[in-house]
Structure 1
Amino acid sequence: MKRLINGLLVIVLVMGVFFWGAQPSQAAESTYRNNADVMLQTEFGAKIDLNNTNVRAFRKLRGFYPVLAQKIVSNAPYKNVKDVLNIPGLSETQKERLQANLDAFTVLDAVDVFTEGDDRLNNGIYD
């Protein structure tokens, strides 16, 4: 009986080491990628994406945060960058700021990982 238990223990240990040390294949890794990972490989990080970025991203542009940024986020989605100029209720100053910064924006398809809930208006990060 002692030999049987020792034999089973050796088998379990060998199998544990084998499966613990096994690395996932590249195909398996690609199945674990989510929409956020895919977006980070686009111009999403280089420009402000009008359809996916939250209001805090607009802080780097003078005069956008928080009022104009909230208008932009609240009126998304946009089909192209120039659609942002058609937001109802914009003042002339706001339109001029938008026009002057159109090259800082991009429009990508809205992705639920970035747009679900109220995180685009208030993501809970305060500094």
Structure 2
Amino acid sequence: MLGGITVIKSLVRFVVVLVLVVSCFAFVGPANAAKTLNPVDAKLTTEFGQAIDLNNSNIRMFRELRGFYPNLASKIINNSPYDQVEDVLEIPGLSETQKARLQANLDKFVVTPPSSELIEGDDRLNPGVY
């Protein structure tokens, strides 16, 4: 009887080790992970993820900039798309203060092509995060 218990314990240990080894391979994932990214995650690996994208970022991204949220940020979003960052200075109806704020923060912006996954609907103005 004692020999049978030892065999069962050894078998259970073997199965546990096998399960651990196989599960480790599952966490490693595919070698070409960049090929499996969805369009939004792929965009995050570009300059979009490093600065505020004038064509794709939602209004909440502007909160870190003093004097932008919500009024100036709304104007920026409503007047997009932009071809280059400096185009934001040409928004009609900007006050001198708003132009000065934009000019002082141009280095914090980037312009990438509009992505339908990020701009469809009213999610840019109201992302539904409360």
What TM bracket, shorter-length normalisation?
0.7 to 0.9
Structure 2 residue 74 is the aligned partner of structure 1 residue 97 = no
Q: 1:28–1:56: structure 2 CA closer, same or farther, 3 Å change rule?
A: closer
RMSD of equivalent CA atoms: 2.1
The corresponding residue for 1:80 is: 84
Which runs of 4 or more aligned residues in structure 1 lie more than 3 Å from their structure 2 counterparts after TM superposition? 23-29
CA deviation map 1:32-89 (0-9, x unaligned):
4321021011111211000000011000000000000000001000000000000001
The corresponding residue for 1:15 is: none
If each structure's helix is expressed as a fraction of its own residues, which one has the higher value? 2
The corresponding residue for 1:46 is: 50
Q: 1:25–1:80: structure 2 CA closer, same or farther, 3 Å change rule?
A: same
Counterparts of 1:122 and 1:101, CA distance in 2: 23
**Residue 92 of structure 1: how far off its partner (Å):** 0.5
Number of aligned residue pairs: 106
TM-score (norm 2): 0.74
Amino acid at match of 1:107: V
Structure 2 residue 107 is the aligned partner of structure 1 residue 123 = no
Instruction: Give the 3-state SS of the residue equivalent to 2:47 in structure 1.
Output: coil
**Residue 121 of structure 1: how far off its partner (Å):** 0.4
List runs of 5+ in structure 2 lacking aligned partners. Answer: 1-22
Structure 2 residue 57 is the aligned partner of structure 1 residue 57 = no
Q: 1:102–1:29: structure 2 CA closer, same or farther, 3 Å change rule?
A: closer
TM-score (norm 1): 0.75
The corresponding residue for 2:112 is: 108
Counterparts of 1:28 and 1:92, CA distance in 2: 47
List runs of 5+ in structure 1 lacking aligned partners. Answer: 1-20
**Residue 28 of structure 1: how far off its partner (Å):** 9.3
Give the fraction of aligned pairs with identical amino acids, expressed as a percent: 59
Counterparts of 1:100 and 1:29, CA distance in 2: 35
